[in-house]
């Protein structure tokens, strides 16, 4: 079997990784913000629809990438990264929700 014939096999047979990029990876690439450490609160809501399970899968993907996310309430998250907060805001808007991000100046 010659080398040129091997190239005609599908990628998964050649041992190469296949698949699409995850939405979280695409959003991370599209954000031009520099990461600033601090405490951020993300408040989101999906008024007309229930929260898609894909949204929660995306949050898990963020955690897998090393971002710290803590749930305060059902629609309120806390993180220690501005980049993570902006990614979550983009994800909420992608899934047709509304979102506000706040930087915590002082916790009492």
**Domains in the chain: boundaries:** 20-103
For position 61, what pLDDT does the model report? 92
Q: Tell whether domain 20-103 is in CATH 3.30.70.
A: yes
Q: How far apart are CA 66 and CA 54, in angstroms?
A: 19
pLDDT in tens, the chain (108 residues): 555 555 555 555 555 555 678 888 888 888 887 778 899 999 999 988 888 899 999 999 999 999 999 999 989 999 999 999 999 999 999 999 999 999 999 888
pLDDT recorded at residue 85: 94
Enter the pTM of the model. Answer: 0.78
Instruction: Return d(Cα 6, Cα 68) in angstroms, integer.
Output: 44
Cβ proximity of 90 and 34 under 8 Å: no
**Which tokens sit at 11?**
């990628």
């Amino acid at each position: 079997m010659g080398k040129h014939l091997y190239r005609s096999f599908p990628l998964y047979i050649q041992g190469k990784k296949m698949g699409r990029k995850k939405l979280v990876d695409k959003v991370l690439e599209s954000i031009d913000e520099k990461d600033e450490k601090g405490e951020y609160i993300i408040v989101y809501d999906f008024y007309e629809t229930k929260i898609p399970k894909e949204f929660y899968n995306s949050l898990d993907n963020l955690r897998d990438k090393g971002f710290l996310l803590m749930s305060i309430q059902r629609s309120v998250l806390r993180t220690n990264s501005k980049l993570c907060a902006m990614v979550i805001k983009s994800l909420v808007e992608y899934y047709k929700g509304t979102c506000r991000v706040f930087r915590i100046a002082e916790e009492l």
